[in-house]
Every structure is written in C-alpha cells, then in structure tokens.
Amino acid sequence: MLSFFRRAWSSAEKLDGKTVLITGANTGIGKETAKDLAKRGAKIIIACRDMEKGQQALKEIKEYSGSDDLKCMKLDLSDTKSIREFAEAINRDEPKLNILINNAGVMVCPYGKTADGFEMQIGVNHMGHFLLTYLLLDLIKRSAPARIVTVSSVAHGWGSINLDDINSEKSYDKIKAYSQSKLANVLFTRSLAKRLEGVLFPLIAVILSIFGASGSIHFISFHFYIFLGTGVTTYSLHPGAVKTDLQRHVSGFLYVVMMVTKPFFKNPAQGAQTSIYCAVEPSLANETGQYYSDCARTSPSSTAKDDNLAQKLWELSCNMLSITWE
C-alpha cells in the first residue's frame, strides 16, 4: 500500500532517571508516546481529564513497558483552576521534570467556551498549555537539560491569529478556529525558545597594580561576557494524519476528504514517532524553537515565522490569563 509518510524513526536512547509529563496521554498518540518513553526508563506522569480512562491507559503502558514508575493525575485544560491545582501538585511532589509534552487537544468541535470564557479550541490547545508551561517552567529549568514539546498540526498553515476576536465571538468557523489554535502552538514554541536561549551577562574584572619605587597605583580593567543559558529547548510538530478519536467532530466536506484518505492515515503508534523524536533525539539538543514533521525538521508556514505576531499573541495570552511572563 502507498504511504504518505516516511518509515518509522527508531532509536535506542534511554531515559533512565528522567521524568516525563504528557498531557492527554490516556488515548491516541499521547498514550503511544507514553508507552515508548516508559520503556526507555523514564518516569511517566500522564495528565488527563477522564481519570477512569487514565487508569486504563496506565495498565496498558505498564503491560507494554514493564515499568511501575507511572502516575495518572487529573488535569482539565479547559479550566485554569484545574491547571493551577495540577501544577501546584507537580511542583510540590516532583523533584524534577525533564520533558513536558503538550499533547492534549480538541479538534473542530462545535462552538463552546472553557470555564474561563475562552473559545474551546484556543482555550484548550493554546491557553491551557501556555499556562501549564508557565507554571511548571521553574521546575523544568532546575531539571535542565530539559525539553518542552508541543503537538501542533499541518493545519497551522490554513489560517491566522485573529487578535481582535481570538475567542471567535463575532463569528465561528470550527476549522479556522482549530487552525488558529495550532498556529498559536507553533508561535508559542518559537517565542518560548527565544526567552529560554539565555543572555550575555557582562562581568568586569579590575586588577590593582603598583609600579616602581614611586609606588604609583594603576587600575586595569577587563570586560568579560558569560553566556547564561537555561538548558531548556522547545519543539513543535505535526504528527501526521492519524487515526484517533480526535476527529469525532469532523463533518461536511472535510469529513468526506478524511474518509477518502483514511486508508493512508497513520496509526497512533506511527503518529507518536515525531513526538518521541523531539523528546529524545540527541542531535536536537542544539536546536530550539523549530517545527518538525515525520521525524525531521521542516519549515512551518510564513505566518508561523512572524515574530511580531508571535509577540502580540504572547502579550494577549498573558493578559487573558492574568499572568506576567516576560
């Protein structure tokens, strides 16, 4: 059968002693990502809204990996109160967090709002993960080298960010809203990378010298710069067209297209490969803020490389979430 994706990436990289948090890992590519990383030796924390499904996923992950170092915690990304309570528990109970995978999401759902009044897709896919990352960032920095991986989509290239109506209150197109949320994922990754790359910190060394019999004193100064990086890198990605229940709200022409092309879709294990690649591939330690597909770096849309738009989205997100994140 023809395939629209490359052969599966493979690696023997181990994660012994590492802690990984994956949102939405009770199903789909999130669960497959968790199974793979658990088998590599990582402690896995899956964060999901449905605890019953989460516990069932834990059993499957344990059976596959043979690991007992697994935990399921409740997280509702459509409610900032839940996000804050979850982050508080992680910061209190976990000594380190080496890899955060922002995987959970909703897709082309009917119009609805989160507990905080955000349109559901931008609220869950972007705002929820933006706040979660903000609340966990100090722990991630202390765990460096560390990675933040955000699952986006090729759909990021289908639209733009409506800064004047990001909650789609004037009009709602579920496909455009989904595209907007996935573009926000890529822009967030790009902006976050710039903030985590580090700064040049100036130092001045002054040397006191006494010369000759006259005892004259001279001060000689030298200027040094030390690069202070955080050791945290970020990645966004397109998992590919994957057979998961995320597409349950798809309808109309897009549904027809999906049904025609579905025989060529990846299964969840194949769809998880780029997430796993971004989480463990050693060569990516020198890359940050980039976008990946089929386990390779690729170029996102031109809009996704607009740093001015990224900055405006960052500021708007902070304002809407009532946080200060410079």
CB 64 within 8 A of CB 39: yes
- CA 71, CA 89: separation in Å to the nearest integer? 13
CB 29 within 8 A of CB 244: yes
First and final C-alpha spacing in the chain: 50
Provide the strand spans (E) within the chain. 19-23, 43-48, 70-74, 99-102, 146-151, 199-211, 216-228, 232-238, 290-293, 296-298
CA 171 to chain CA centroid, Å, is 28
- CA 317, CA 77: separation in Å to the nearest integer? 15
Q: Tell me the three state secondary structure of residue 285.
A: helix
Q: Which of 64, 111, 178, 291 is catalytic?
A: 178
- CA 146, CA 141: separation in Å to the nearest integer? 7
Does residue 178 carry a catalytic annotation? Answer: yes
CB 244 within 8 A of CB 27: yes
The 8-class DSSP code of residue 105 comes to -
Q: Tell me the three state secondary structure of residue 266.
A: strand
CB 136 within 8 A of CB 87: yes
The encoded tokens of residue 100 equal 């955060």
Residue positions annotated with a catalytic role = 178
